[in-house]
């Protein structure tokens, strides 16, 4: 099983959506997510879009990098520019890619639906390509 870490700033929307989509749609790949400055909560609209698509799990929550830094990852994905610019060094060498998405936080539910679709359409094929799965 290949392991992916999805990082953004607040770990409340984009990275949670990415984590859930990877876990639900990519065979042989498991994902976790974290934030460089986590909000401490999952945005209710992010949770709703995942529930509406049948891929929400209660284990999804906003995490700090400290909670996952000791894990082994095959790939680090940053999904916002701030996380990309501030992505820390990891204890072991690991591939990193950046695939940025607009932050839906503070917008209506439709923005979260669009983010979900964009992450599924753009990020998942890129991860498959990079990890060769």
- 34 as an active site residue: the answer is no
Q: Is 59 a catalytic residue?
A: no
Alpha helices in 1-133 (DSSP H): 14-25, 44-52, 81-86, 109-118, 124-131
Give the E-state strand segments of 54-130 in sequence order.
Answer: 75-78, 95-98
Per annotation, catalytic residue among 13, 34, 59, 80: 80
Contact between 117 and 21 (Cβ < 8 Å):
no
By annotation, the residues acting in catalysis are 8, 80, 87
């Amino acid at each position: 099983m290949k392991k992916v870490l999805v990082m953004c700033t607040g770990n409340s929307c984009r990275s949670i959506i990415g984590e859930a989509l990877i876990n639900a749609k990519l065979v042989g790949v498991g994902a976790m997510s974290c934030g460089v400055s986590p909000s401490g909560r999952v945005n209710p609209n992010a949770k709703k879009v995942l529930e509406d698509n049948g891929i929400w799990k209660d284990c999804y929550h906003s995490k700090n990098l400290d909670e996952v830094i000791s894990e082994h990852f095959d790939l680090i994905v940053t999904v916002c520019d701030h996380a990309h610019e501030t992505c820390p060094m990891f204890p072991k060498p690991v591939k990193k890619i950046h695939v940025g998405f607009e932050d839906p936080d503070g917008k209506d539910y439709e923005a979260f639906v669009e983010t979900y679709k964009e992450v599924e359409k753009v990020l998942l094929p890129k991860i498959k390509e990079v990890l060769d799965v």
